[in-house]
Structure 1
Amino acid sequence: MILNKRIKLNVKEKGVLLLEGIGTFLLFQIINIVLIGAIGKSGFVENVKTNLSNLISDKLWILVLTLLVQLILTIMMALTMYHRLELHQVQQILQKSATANLPQPIGVKVNQNLQGIIDNYNLLISNMNRRSKEQEQSEKSKDELISNVSHDIRTPLTSVIGYLGLIESKNYNDLGQILKYTHIAYKKSLEMQNLVNSLFEFANVQHATSRLNMTQFDMAQMLDQLSADFELEANKRGMEIIVNSHPDKIMMKGDTEKLGRVFNNLIMNAFKYGKGATHIWLTAEQKNNEVVVTVANNGPAIPEESVKHVFDRFYRVEDSRSKKTGGTGLGLAIAQSMVKLHGGTIAVTSNKEKTSFISHFPITQ
């Protein structure tokens, strides 16, 4: 927050301003003397006396007039000098700020004309600092991404190399052991492929030029189709998928492929981490100019300290369980990015009764 403070003149500047005022005053006095003498010789006073003789004397009238003009001109000269001193101080402040490692907005209040320059400078510095922080955060995110990818690829890759190395060195007893080694290497290779595909998808949706193929569709029908697609998997896990829509038909615009990916990720997340859940609810509701879609399950609650991190890249609420289920830690980050591409938002709430991922979408783009 910038606190605007009036520029205060130092002792030297106050002295210069005082001397300027005294000099101006003396100059005006000399001019007054010359003018009075000239007017007296020209007979101007006699003409004025004819019209103003009932009001004031000629000498008093001349004195008042000259003093008034002198006062106005002195004030104007003082303001001009003060503005010059303000400009000098602002130049010094700007020079000092520009040479700093991280320039900061300057909180000074000056005359109206000069204040525009200060405000524009502050806006420029604020934008530069904001972009600098964004770049710093971007670099940090890239480092974290490389670190996380390296860690997640290293583990399955080590297994693949290890088991194939056993086969290469003929360190096996029979064909059954060879098949066992190759099966493990194959599964680990699929894990790496899944991670690479997720990374590619995440990078694509994060790209500034990522486009949406917008079409008109029925959100309620999409949820019905998703329920049918996952019905077999739900039965295997002892779950029931329930679809609710209010109203029964909700027409909106969006990229159906990307939105399908969003809800696929959310439903798969409910399958993987909703251990012990009996129901998954897919709910769509039209509220004014937006559609609210909720994917919920009655599995275990997400720990409170983890709720704010679930959309972070590579974040896992429980590492051991995630590795067992083959999660990459990118599913929810991808879902969030695709929701944002549609101009929407997504949030999560979790308690003992239900964990809900709630998405808000504008009906039209």
Structure 2
Amino acid sequence: MAIAVDPFASATHALIEAMGAAVVLLDVQGVAQALSPAMRALIPALETGQPLTLVMRDPDLIEAIDGVARQGGRQVIELIERVPVERTFRIHISALPGAGWRRPVVLTFEDLSEQRVTERMRVDFVANASHELRTPLASLLGFVETLQGPARNDAGARDRFLAIMREQGLRMARLVDDLLSLSRIELRAHLAPETPVDLTGISREIVDSLTLMAREREVTLTLRAPTEPVRVAGDRDELLRLMENLVENAIKYGKRGGEVLIEVLDGPAECSVGVRDDGPGIAPEHLPRLTERFYRVDTAASREAGGTGLGLAIVKHIVLRHRGRLTIESALGEGATFRAVLPRFGAPPRKP
């Protein structure tokens, strides 16, 4: 017995699968019947023959789809996903012709994540930069006025003030550089890196580059890592920045004349790199806030060491972009250990 084929349905499926936008066709029961390539890339967990609600369980989305399927017409909603990273979608829901009590619907997704992040970054940049730059700018202006006035002919004061002005200028340059780095990382937070990167090689490179800084603090850098490459799916430049920030912090805030241990661990699904110092440690009440922008346990000590208050925020956002996690272990008098745990290259994605 021949099975009748609905030419309209076949043409609809073919049209959707050829579209450049992120589009999914749901039947009257809410099961995905056709997906465009862009939709598969946007939400890889969604497959044909699978109810959309198994992958996207947002109540507002489910209610909007049900309303359009029952009453026809179209509706537009915005959806924010929090896991594994925050993403914002504008979803256009339109009903197709149907004779039953429910109709098939077509969903078109617009990924607004980059646009929303850009808007938030612009606001945050202005607020944070204006606050943090106010002090060094005031210092520079004060010293310029002094050099133009009372200290105009005082060579000793001029040399001393110029040295301080140079330090303030470098501080502003570091701050702007860190703000821009953080903005770039946030802008790409929804794009997980896919290139194999060797954590052992990166760790050795950072140890070599920071040896002079450690020597000035009489700190010993010790690297424990497998002889074989430890590959993660990553962005090499960002992972270099992550390691640099962690090791620099350990050198600056650890014990003078102490040791900083860098440890690389390999695992079947996840790899990690940890940095441990033997400094004064961190009180428990500070640990949850360490990765906030401009949060400092000791503001004076941080600024004296040349810190911008953004180093650990950058580390956190790099780890999040790599779909990993950052752990911090510390107690007063016992040093601190910062460990970035990242997916091994080729391993299946970790479920949130």
TM-score range, shorter chain: 0.5 to 0.7
From 214, 223, 226, the equivalent of 2:203 is 223
RMSD of equivalent CA atoms: 3.7
Give the Cα–Cα distance (whole angstroms) in 2 for the partners of residues 236 and 257 of structure 1: 26
**1:213 positional shift:** 7.3
Q: Do residues 198 (structure 1) and 178 (structure 2) align?
A: yes
Give the Cα–Cα distance (whole angstroms) in 1 for the partners of residues 203 and 117 of structure 2: 37
**1:182 positional shift:** 1.9
Q: Which has the larger radius of gyration?
A: 1
**1:207 positional shift:** 0.7
From 325, 350, 354, the equivalent of 2:330 is 350
Give the Cα–Cα distance (whole angstroms) in 2 for the partners of residues 210 and 127 of structure 1: 15
The 5 Å alignment of 1:42-191 reads: 127=79, 146-169=126-149, 171-191=151-171
| Alpha-carbon distance change, 230 to 150 in structure 1, aligned in 2, over 3 angstroms | same
Give the Cα–Cα distance (whole angstroms) in 1 for the partners of residues 189 and 279 of structure 2: 38
From 240, 250, 261, the equivalent of 1:270 is 250
Give the Cα–Cα distance (whole angstroms) in 1 for the partners of residues 184 and 117 of structure 2: 19
| Alpha-carbon distance change, 125 to 353 in structure 1, aligned in 2, over 3 angstroms | same
Aligned residue in 1 for 2:344: 363
Bigger helix share:
1
Aligned residue in 2 for 1:75: none
TM-score with structure 1 length normalisation? 0.59
Q: What 5-or-longer segments of structure 1 have no aligned partner?
A: 1-103, 106-112, 119-123
User: Counterpart amino acid of 1:353?
Assistant: E
Q: Identity across aligned pairs (percent)?
A: 27
Task: Find the residue that maps to 1:312 and give its secondary structure.
Answer: coil
Bigger strand share:
2
Is the CA contact (8 Å cut-off) linking 1:293 and 1:358 kept in structure 2?
yes
Task: Find the residue that maps to 2:178 and give its secondary structure.
Answer: helix
CA displacement 1:257-312 (0-9 Å, x = unmatched): 21111000001111222244611111111111211111111111111111001111
Give the Cα–Cα distance (whole angstroms) in 2 for the partners of residues 306 and 139 of structure 1: 29
Is the CA contact (8 Å cut-off) linking 1:314 and 1:328 kept in structure 2?
yes
Q: What 5-or-longer segments of structure 2 have no aligned partner?
A: 1-58, 61-65, 83-87, 90-112, 347-352
Is the CA contact (8 Å cut-off) linking 2:254 and 2:335 kept in structure 1?
no
User: Counterpart amino acid of 1:165?
Assistant: E
| Alpha-carbon distance change, 287 to 176 in structure 1, aligned in 2, over 3 angstroms | same
| Alpha-carbon distance change, 338 to 236 in structure 1, aligned in 2, over 3 angstroms | same
Give the Cα–Cα distance (whole angstroms) in 1 for the partners of residues 140 and 282 of structure 2: 33
- More deviation, 171-180/208-217: 208-217
- Size of the aligned set, in residue pairs, is 254
Give the Cα–Cα distance (whole angstroms) in 2 for the partners of residues 292 and 358 of structure 1: 7
User: Counterpart amino acid of 1:359?
Assistant: A
Is the CA contact (8 Å cut-off) linking 2:194 and 2:233 kept in structure 1?
yes
